[in-house]
Amino acid sequence: MAQQFPDMVERLLSSPSAEERRMALITLGKLRYHRLVQRVMIILQTDRDKEVRAMAAWTLDILSAPEGVPALIQAMYDEDFGVRSNAGWALVHLAARLYPPMLLPEVIDVLHDPDHPDAQQMAYLVLKRIDHEVARRAIRDYGQ
């Protein structure tokens, strides 16, 4: 039975049905199943369905997966606001749970990317929610 769970979830993550992929991601998050974090990161970066990508960001948030930071940073560039928002909140929560300087430089890089105003806006919102001097300084310097 224990081996059946990962196999079943892995099949659902690869399903042609976006609803099944979303349900698999919800299951991974709710059960705090960390073994498929790498797969969730790939889904966040490549899935064609925006709701699946948003759920992948949510799953990384719930799993508190620091290895997901690069995928979450990249997701701030997603065309869909829901994906960007879930990725942003995941970064805020990871900063609170872990060590803010581990992800602040990447968020600040996004803040300074004028070619992507939606990503810039999300980076600004993320930095506003992180209680750390580096984040406050980045916001202050950005406004000047």
132 exposure class (CB count in 10 Å sphere: 0-12, 13-18, 19+): middle
Q: What is the mean pLDDT of residues 74-82?
A: 98
pLDDT score for 4? 78
The answer to whether 66 touches 100, Cβ cutoff 8 Å, is no
129 exposure class (CB count in 10 Å sphere: 0-12, 13-18, 19+): middle
Least confidently predicted of 26-30, 57-61, 93-97, 99-103: 99-103
Residue 95 pLDDT grade (very low, low, confident, very high; cuts 50, 70, 90): very high
pLDDT score for 94? 95
pLDDT above 60 for 2: no
pLDDT score for 10? 85
pLDDT score for 144? 65
pLDDT score for 1? 44
What pTM, to 2 d.p., does this model score?
0.91
Which domains does the chain possess?
A: 4-142 (1.25.10.10)
Give per-residue pLDDT as tens, 107-141: 999 999 999 999 999 999 999 999 999 999 999 99
Report residue 40 as tokens. Answer: 């969730």
Give per-residue pLDDT as tens, 11-67: 899 999 999 999 999 999 998 888 899 999 999 999 999 999 999 999 999 999 899
Residue 3 pLDDT grade (very low, low, confident, very high; cuts 50, 70, 90): low
The answer to whether 9 touches 34, Cβ cutoff 8 Å, is no
